[in-house]
Amino acid sequence: MKKTLIIAGALACAFASQAYAQDASTPTTAQAQPTAADAVGGQPATMSMSGGPAHAQGLTRAEVIHQLEESQKNGEAARLQELFKGGN
């Protein structure tokens, strides 16, 4: 019984590996994946999944520092500190 299961498993592996094998005679070409803006009717997202505005690139260092200073001035940083019980 064990011998039959081992042979059946080996055959299944052999057939599965052949299904994913690539024919060596066909050359492969790298193609760029289309983006949402390239698709027919595609529009770049204006809102991120979290509800904030979508940025094409990350923030600059100056923008991050400005956001930090603003959150400290208006008390947002303190509220978050209290909410998540962050420590020093």
Find the radius of gyration of the CA atoms of the chain. 27
Q: What is the pLDDT of residue 76?
A: 92
For the chain, give every domain's residue range: 60-88
Per-residue pLDDT tens digits for 39-61: 565 566 677 677 776 666 778 99
List the one residue out of 47, 29, 45 whose CA is nearest residue 37. 45
Neighbours of 77 (CB within 10 A): 15
CA 35 to CA 23: how far, in whole Å?
A: 28
Average pLDDT (23-45) is 60
CA 44 to CA 54: how far, in whole Å?
A: 9
Residue type for 29, please?
Answer: T
Q: In this model, does residue 62 exceed pLDDT 90?
A: yes
